[in-house]
A = this chain, B = another copy of it.
Amino acid sequence: MTIASIIGGSGYGGGELLRLLLSHPGVEVKQVTSRSHLGEYVYQVHPNLRKQTQLKFSEPNMLEPVDVLFLAQPHGQAQHHIDEHAKLAPKIIDLSADFRLRDAALYEKWYGEKHAAPEWLSKFVYGLPELHRAELASADYVSGVGCNATASNLALLPLVKAGLIYLSSPVIIEVKVGSSESGAEGNTGSHHAERANVIRTFSTFGHRHTVEVMQEMCVNDVSLTMTAVDLVRGVLATAHAKVKQGVTTKDLWKAYGAVANENPFVRIVKEQRGIYRAPEPKILAGSNYADLGFELDETNGHVVSMCAIDNLMKGAAGSAVQCMNLMMGWKETTGLEFIGLHPI
């Protein structure tokens, strides 16, 4: 059994990770830390874990050595303790934004403060298997992924990989998100009476996940417009771009098909009938799938590419476990087999 611990287990990302690790056949969870819920049973915070485990939240300072250490704290914390953490475990997967960017200057620009451990940035691999599968197999340090960045990157992946768009063309991505994105702490706008029934655009330009799309897809002129809707789990990214002259719908089928074939958690959703004709996040709750869809206006080359994910799974804990599987040499889908529900 591989022994793992989680730092920061009372948040939504940490809770989802815990759920996955508790039912993972190759892992035993040793400790889960939380300062705010110290001493409580984990199921008192994550009620789905009742009768699954008698673990209690422990003190971050009392961590024991493990095989794999997961960091699931709010952004800006892991970078201050990475040296200590590295002494506890040979392999670290950090769900926060601290080690996602390769360039410390970009971190400072988008996060508004100097990075505390810039020397560590090059040691981390960006934790999206669909982009870095081979590197992950030999990585010791893996970053998490931004959930909105993940939906955006996977929406663009077939287009970029097959060279169907110019990397310098403008890309407009409209991202619609559920309320679990705001984290377990929420914010003033998270109160159900204010947050229910919304179509609330909370960021038109400048969302921090934008830089992850620029880094990973090498697109230079990209904007993310973020809109909150009435849903708990789920992200839909809708990317608008122009394909190169002459690109046809058939080319797109080929490009998307290739990505779906190479990646066990990528599916193409493009139906002519039925209710679910395009990617939709609601049926993905709890699953690690990324559903892709597209439409091309052949008269003007306007392509609309969509990607739906569960932000806590493919956009956070699910990808992290997938990375662990690759790092440990296990089957990539282990512990991630949950199919998703319909209806829901």
Contacts and interface: CB of A to CB of B under 8 A. Distances in A.
CB-CB nearest 6 A-B residue pairs: A192-B195, A47-B276, A204-B295, A179-B192, A193-B343, A48-B340
B271 A44 contact: yes
8 contacts: A15-B342, A47-B275, A179-B196, A188-B275, A190-B190, A196-B282, A204-B278, A227-B238
Contacts of A191: 179, 184, 186, 190-192
Contact of A192 (B196, B201, B280, B285): B196
Contact of A232 (B15, B193, B267, B286): B193
A40 B281 CA distance: 23
> How many copies of this chain sit in the oligomeric assembly?
4
A330 interface: no
Given A225-B304, A233-B341, A269-B47, A282 B179 contact: no
What interface size band does chain A fall in?
Answer: 35 or more
Contacts of A282: 196-199
A305 to B, nearest CB: 10
Interface of A: 12, 15, 19, 22-23, 40, 44-52, 170, 172, 174, 176, 178-180, 182, 184, 186, 188-202, 204-205, 221, 223, 225, 227, 229-234, 236, 238, 240, 267, 269, 271, 273-283, 285-287, 289, 291, 293, 295, 297, 300, 302, 304, 306, 308, 337-344
A76 B312 CA distance: 41
A90 B50 CA distance: 37
A243 to B, nearest CB: 14
A309 B110 CA distance: 34
Given A46-B342, A48-B340, A199-B234, 19 more contacts: A19-B341, A47-B274, A47-B276, A47-B342, A48-B283, A170-B300, A174-B174, A174-B225, A176-B229, A189-B275, A190-B192, A190-B193, A192-B192, A192-B195, A199-B231, A201-B236, A201-B278, A205-B304, A285-B344
Contact of A238 (B180, B184, B201, B293): B201
Interface-central residue, A184, A193, A234, A291, by most chain B CB under 10 Å: A193
A280 B228 CA distance: 10
A123 to B, nearest CB: 33
A171 to B, nearest CB: 11
Contacts of A340: 48
A263 to B, nearest CB: 11
B193 A48 contact: no
B343 A199 contact: no
Contacts of A48: 283, 287, 339-342
B286 A286 contact: yes
B196 A339 contact: no
A269 B200 CA distance: 12
Given A233-B344, A342-B47, A275 B194 contact: yes
Contact of A236 (B194, B227, B230, B240): B227
Contact of A273 (B44, B178, B193): B44
A287 to B, nearest CB: 7
Nearest to A231: B197
A23 B179 contact: no
